[in-house]
Every structure is written in C-alpha cells, then in structure tokens.
Chains A and B, each alone.
Chain A
Amino acid sequence: MAFGLKHLLGLEGVSREDLKTILDTADSFREVIDRPIKKVPTLRGVTVVNLFYEPSTRTKLSFELAEKRLSADLLNFSKSGSSVSKGETFKDTVRNIEAMKVDMIVMRHACSGAPKFLTEFASSQVINAGDGAHEHPTQALLDMMSIRRKYKKLDGLRVVIIGDILHSRVARSNIWGLKTMGASVAVCGPTTLMPVEAQRMGVDVYHDINKALDGADVVNVLRLQLERQESGLLPSLREYTKLFGITHERRSLLNKNHTILHPGPMNRGVEISSDVADAKDSVILDQVTNGVAVRMAVLYLIKGGGSKEDE
C-alpha cells in the first residue's frame, strides 16, 4: 500500500485509492480509541504544530487528541495573544516556529489557499484544518467515514448537502471526496448562498428542499452562520428555517434507512430541529468520535506510515 500524499490540502484531486486508505486506517484507529487504553506509540518523536489562525473548538481539540493518542509532541499556536498581533507576517511566524524543528503543521486559516501558500515556503508537512471557504478535508473524511461505517460503502449512495454552500469549505471537501468514492452528490440552499457555476463541480443543484430530499440516503446539514442575515444574503433566519430547515416532518421524504449529519456547531431550531439532532438514531456525536480516528489516520499516513519504505 503506497500512500500518495505529502500534504493534505484538500480532497479535490485526491485519488480513490488514497481516500480508501485513509478511511480504512481510520477504521483501525477507531478500534484503538474504543479501547480502555487509547494510546499508541506510532508518532513518538514527531513534533506537530497546531497553527490556528481562526477560532476553533472541535477541530482543534480533535487534532490535539489525535496527536496525543499517536504519542506525538505537540505545540499549540493561536492568533490571539501571539506575535501576529505585533505585526509579524505569516511567513515570518511560520519560519520562526519551523526554526525550532517541527515536522508537521496542522493549520486553520480564514483565507482560502493559506495552507497551499504555506507549502510553498515551509519544510514541514501540512494538513489543512480548514481554509476560508475552500476546503476542510478532515471534516469531509470524518463525514465519509461515518457514512461508510453505516452503509459499508459510499459508492452509489445519494448524498444531499443542505445550506450555505457559498461559504462552506465543508461542502466543497465533501463534494470532491464523495464523488471520487462514487456517491452521487446534490447541493441545496438559497440561491443567494449558492456559488456561481456550482453544477460544474459535478453536483445536482436544488433550491427546493422537498425535491432535494426525495429519495436521498444521506443529508449533511451545514451550519448557517447567523451573520448571513445581517449581510443581506437572507431576509430572516425564520424564513430560512421554513424553506431549508431539517425537521422531523421532512425526514419522511428520505429513504427509510437514512442518515443525517451535521458538522457542528449546531444552531438548533435554525438549520436543524432539536428532535432531529437528538433523535435516537442521530450520528452527530458519533461523527465527532470518528473525527479523532480520521485525524489519527491522516497524521499517520502523511507522516509516512503507509509508505512502502516502512513496510
């Protein structure tokens, strides 16, 4: 098994074989973290920096935990209270951190393309933990893992992503990953939150939720940023909920054996109703558990765990 990626910047262009390797490895690590003793020595001696230029709770904690469970040494950097507020450039900050001898950088940044830029001058291996509205590959991988664990496949499933596609890196990464794995992907949201030429990403585009949900296996409900109303993209959250909110009633449109995902944090009563979020069959918290396993897999494989030389 040869793993082809030096960095994980996004899922666009990642091969089916590499995606499958990540998901298979994540399944193995899921077994590890379900054990009473959850730690393995896999990345002992490897130093990882979590470079978070944008606020994050779940992704940051998830990466930290994944690194700890692989026995890596880790450093946490966040923008507030750092030399960034003293006017240091991004490049200088990274070069200074790298001068302390680190191996991998996990980065979250508000600017699309920032991790790609990082790889152009840094010597570390880079994992994108979310860049602007571009990609959030590990979130999509944990979504795919959660779907695959339920259906034992991704091929042939019909997945609908609902909400603010325009600003969503989660949507983009899911589209690329799911399509490569053979799923059919649809996106659905208000016309003002749909990027131009979205269909060229190879997805069906819907603005009528009833049509979008009809016969779907999986629904991925995106978080609606509350500021979209203030910026004039939506008249009101109330109307959004009425037109696009996932409610118990709307579940009846889906395939009987369906799954509802949410990347969090949820706005209960806006994009998803509480009864759906808390339903007995909800996998939303299981996604979070899988997130740690997927990030362990990505860290391990990127570091070279899956390369031929190691075998």
Chain B
Amino acid sequence: MAEIVSLADAVAELVRDGDVVALEGFTHLIPVAAGHEIIRQRRRDLTLVRMTPDIVYDQLIGAGCARKLIFSWGGNPGVGSLHRFRDAVQNGWPEPLEIEEHSHAGMANRYVAGASGLPFAVLRGYTGTDLASVTSTIKQITCPFTGERLAAVPAINADVSIIHAQRADRAGNVQLWGLVGVQKEAVLAAKRSLVTVEEVVDELEPVDGGIVLPSWAVTRVAEVPGGAHPSYAQGYSERDNGYYAEWDPISRDRAEFEKWLERTRTTGVPA
C-alpha cells in the first residue's frame, strides 16, 4: 500500500546509487521535481530509462547522476539538442555515459512486457537496421508458428519508476488523465515506485479518459504541486515554453550549467 511522504524522504528511501531508474511522462506530467531531488541527494551510477529523455535527463546527466541511458529519443522538445547529454556521450563530461538505444516501439513494448510479468517482448521493427549490432538488448528470434525472424527485447523492470500525476487519495490510489504515455506500465513493472501528485484529495472523482493506479501498485506518494514544471499537468498548469528555450544556452555551456546546478542543489524542495 502506498504511503504518503515528503518528496525528499521518498527519494532518500527509494532511489539508491546504482539503481535502474525510470522517470516517465509524455508531453505533460513529466516528474521534473523528483529528478531535481535526485540531483540534490547526489545519487550516482544510475541507469536512467526513459522513452523520450528531455530537459530533466539532461540535468541529471550533467549533474553526474547517471552512468547509462536507455532511450529512443533524446532532445529538448521544440528547441533542439540536449547538450549535457551530448557532452557526456561525446566527451565523457562529467562522467562517461553508456547508451542503450531502442526504437519507440521497442521501449514501449519492453515496459509492457515488464508490467505483464513476461521476460521479453517481440516486434517486427529493428529488422534491417544497425541497432541490433550496437545494442546488446536486441536479439533475433524465430517465431515457432510461422518461422518469421523477429526482434526480441528484454522487459524493463526498473528498480524504481517515478511518475507525476494529477492527484491521489489519502489511501494512496493515484489518478491521472490527459495524454498518458507508458506511466502505468512503468509503475506496474517496477520493483518500487514513486508518484508525485498535484494534490492529495479525500475522494477521486471519475474523470473522462482517466486511469487509476491502485494503492497496492504504488510504493510512495508525495504531494508536489507544480512537480511537472516546466511540462504541464492537464487541469492544473500550463506548459512553460520559455523554460525550454532558456535551457538551451545553459545546457550548451559547462560553466552556465554548473551555476544552474549549484542553484538547484542549494534551493530546497519546491513548495
């Protein structure tokens, strides 16, 4: 059953050096505040997993929290590249970053397999590309029924999955709606999970298109209003487009980034 705790306590308890950590959220509901807390607590050697790493992963990588990234797209949406990510891959700064590159479908299916309790997923994509020769987690498999050669990819079962949602009730049941990516699968697949929410309420009123993650599937809930900023939480906040543009010059320059890092480490948990 999910327990409701502070963000700092949740990260301290759930995220350990060397863990495989997945922060999921697509376009909105990106758990940025939780990422900043991981930076503040100076976690290291993490294997970061995310279908579409954006600014928060650039920040975690630049802060030296990660040794490996599992992904299918890494960029600053609407702006361009992630320069901390590129600096780590190309120049090993501040730490060398190993990458495990998959396609979107490969990543989504790996989470689905993990959530389903299956060891791997099978798909047609990858055939004919160079990915199988550069990514060790893509293997060829022969369909026992048709003989077709297909790609197999292992389940992702993160040590801890972190997502942001609109709200939870006091028992720790979590409700999210709007554009939903693979958050449900990431949480169900993980050994431990943390959900930051805009608010904790007495009762979860049904919302069209919403999904509920039951309390038994969630380890910890932390109330963090605005915890998806600069992304948005539908029904609660708007996307801060300026932040994405302003990140570009910070990300391009190691000195500017280090100033940002110092500010982030010395400020407290967002109210």
A and B assemble together: no
